[in-house]
A = this chain, B = another copy of it.
Amino acid sequence: MAVISYIDAVTQALREEMQRDERVFVLGEDVGVRGGVFRATDGLIDTFGPERVLDTPLTESAIAGVSIGASVYGKRPVAEMQFADFILPAVNQIISEAAKMRYRSNNAWNCPLVIRAPYGGGVHGALYHSQSVEKIFTGVPGLKIVMPSTPYDVKGLLKSSIRDEDPVLFFEHKRCYRLIKGEVPEEDYTVPIGKAEVKREGTDVTVISYGLTLHFAQKAAEELEKEGISVHILDLRTLVPLDKEAILEAVAKTGKGLIIHEDNVTGGFGGEISAVIAEEAFFELDAPVRRLCGPDVPSMPYSPSLEKEFMLNPEKVTNAIRDLAEF
């Protein structure tokens, strides 16, 4: 198997799906000749032409709304929001329209579309190029929300998302783009939406995470193994629909749960996970479930000293796991 980067997995998935199904097309700001500001759509316009690789005007509500129209017609649009932070002008189209189209039409119409967006910090992106925005959408029934952490999952889940009959928000951690590499099969494969994955078996503490922090947890687990602390790690991969079964099983393994995400703690999706555990695995718990998340401030500042303070890292994660193990 070839070892490729997280962002190459995006590009490959797009290319292969466009080849497989001519209803698939991509649109967004600078996705054409520029190949995307992160180069996720690099080269697509050469193969598929400007009709299927559309440079749109700088208008996120239109990107979402036009995708909705094209998808009800029967196309399979894959829209790019240049940064997840800039999905906000499109919130009305996504929540009022895409999420409710099937329900409100009693199953007559649906929106098979994907919105991709790079999110997350640690790239000197400051307040508006660093945010995690999943919590704006995780409580909106009708949307699916996918947040992969490895190239394998990126490719397999992006393909599943494009083939899905409902709107999918596909969030890519931009710090992972070139940092994270991994093996990806040559042949066509998919990863099912809605299935978490155990990344590591352990007995002392269960970590539940997704995206960049999942990798911090893996590093921390290696470190802690030397100290004799055994960490069980679950990668959610999909936030909605949530794989509750996998969560409950993972927590039951150790009796201790630590939820980690980069998004700030209050009102973040960690609360939902914690609530599910508290409701359904209460008697399996040997300690209160904990959350390790970004701080409750509006977003990540630009100054390296402040950004570092905001961001999680393997060390902070190691400490939090050790702390819980010692409880």
Where the two chains meet, the residues of A that have a C-beta atom closer than 8 Å to any C-beta of B are 61, 85, 88-89, 91-92, 95-96, 99-100, 103-104, 127-128, 135-136, 138-142, 240, 242, 263-264, 266-272, 274-280, 282-283, 285, 287-291, 296-299
Contacts and interface: CB of A to CB of B under 8 A. Distances in A.
A266 B85 contact: no
Nearest to A263: B139
Contacts of A296: 141
Given A85-B96, A272-B275, A279-B291, 10 more contacts: A89-B92, A91-B136, A100-B299, A135-B135, A140-B298, A274-B278, A274-B279, A275-B291, A279-B289, A280-B288
Contacts of A269: 267
Complex A-B, nearest 8 residue pairs according to Cβ-Cβ distance, in ascending order: A139-B267, A274-B275, A282-B288, A88-B92, A278-B278, A271-B272, A271-B271, A138-B267
A126 to B, nearest CB: 9
Contacts of A100: 127, 298-299
Given A96-B85, A100-B127, A270 B275 contact: yes
A87 to B, nearest CB: 9
A92 B83 CA distance: 14
A275 B279 CA distance: 10
Contacts of A103: 127, 297-299
A258 to B, nearest CB: 11
A139 B135 contact: yes
